Amino acid sequence: MMVIRDKSVQDLLGFYVEAGVDAIVGEEPVNRFAAVEAPAPSSRTSGAVLPPQHSESNGPAVAPAPPAPDDATMAARAAAKSAKTLDELRGILEKFDGCALKTTATQLVFADGAPTARLMFVGEAPGRDEDIEGLPFVGRSGKLLDRMLAAIGLDRTSAYIANIVPWRPPGNRTPTPQESQICLPFILRQIELADPDVLVCLGGPSAQALLGIKEGITKTRGRWFNFDTGKREIRAMPTFHPAFLLRSPLQKRFAWRDFLAIRKALDQ
C-alpha cells in the first residue's frame, strides 16, 4: 500500500473521493462532444467498424479559439460599416462570431418597434425572456416600458428599441467591458441607419457606452446631451432602466418627468 505523506495531496484526493471521483481517465482533457471520424472498415474485420483511435494526428476535433478582443473589435467595426441597411446589419450580426456571448445565447436579439420611428431606446443587453422570444424588452421590464410609453401617448409602433449587446449574457450577468466594446460598432451603426430624432439611453451602462458619460445615472438622468449619429447631431437623454424602476419604484416619479420631457421634444 502506497503511503502519501504530502498533506496537500491527501486533501486533494479526499476532495475527489467526496465528490464521487473513483477512477482516473487520463492526464489530458478530452472533448467528448466533438465529432470523431471513424476509420474506414478493414477487410480483416468483415465490415466491422473499429473504435476511433486517439492520437496526436487523429484526435477529437477542436473548436477554433475565439479572436482576441482587439481583433474582434476591429472586425466588428469593418463589418458594421459595410451594412447599408438595417436588414443587412442584422444579417451581418447573425454571422459575426467575434463575441463569445453568441455561443451561449439562444438567438440574436436585434430590435423591435418601427425602424423609421423618431424615438429610439437603447438598453444594455437582453434577458431570459428576450433571449427566448428574440425581441428586446418583452419581460417584466418591457411591460413597464410599454406602460411608460402609453402614459405619453406612444407605443412600440412609434419607437425603435435595441440594446448595446444583442446576445444574452449567461445567467443575465452584466456584459463585460470587452463584450460591450466588441458590440459597440454594431449599435452605433444601427442608430445611424435608424436615424431617430431623439435617442433615449435606458440605464447607466447604455449612457456611458453611447454618450461617454462617467457619472452615474442618478446624476445624469433627465439631462439632454448631443449625440452624433454619423449623419447629424440629435438630442439624447439618459433615464432609468425599467428593470431598476421595478426594484426601486420610488424612482418612477423621476422617470415620469424624463418621459414628459421626451414627449415635449418630439412635439417640437
**SS3 assignment, position 227:** strand
Q: Which long-range contacts (CB under 8 A, 24 or more apart) does 56-63 make?
A: 60/30, 60/31, 60/32, 60/34, 60/36, 61/31, 61/34, 61/35, 61/36, 62/31, 62/34, 63/34
Per-residue pLDDT at 84 exceeds 50: yes
% of the chain with per-residue pLDDT over 70: 75
- How confident is the model over 218-252, as pLDDT tens digits? 999 999 999 999 999 999 999 999 999 999 999 99
Q: Is 171 left (phi over 0), alpha (psi -120 to 50) or beta?
A: left
- How confident is the model over 34-72, as pLDDT tens digits? 554 444 444 444 444 444 444 444 555 555 666 788 899
Q: Is 20 left (phi over 0), alpha (psi -120 to 50) or beta?
A: left
Q: What is the pTM of this model?
A: 0.76
- Determine the Cα–Cα distance for residues 189 and 131; give it in Å rounded to an integer: 22
Contacts of 240 (CB under 8 A, 6+ apart): 202, 203, 217, 221, 248, 251, 254, 255, 258
Average pLDDT over residues 163-188: 96
Question: What domains sit in the chain, N to C, each tagged with a CATH number?
Answer: 69-267 (3.40.470.10)
Mean of pLDDT over the chain: 86
In 83-203, which ranges are continuous DSSP H helix? 86-95, 101-104, 128-133, 140-151, 177-194
Per-residue pLDDT at 262 exceeds 90: yes
Per-residue pLDDT at 209 exceeds 90: yes
Straight-line distance from the first to the last Cα atom of the chain, in angstroms, rounded to the nearest whole number: 87
Where is pLDDT greater, at 26 or 10?
Answer: 10
Within 13 Å and on the Cβ side, how many CA atoms surround 236? 26
- Determine the Cα–Cα distance for residues 179 and 208; give it in Å rounded to an integer: 14
- How confident is the model over 88-128, as pLDDT tens digits? 999 999 999 999 999 999 999 999 999 999 999 999 999 99
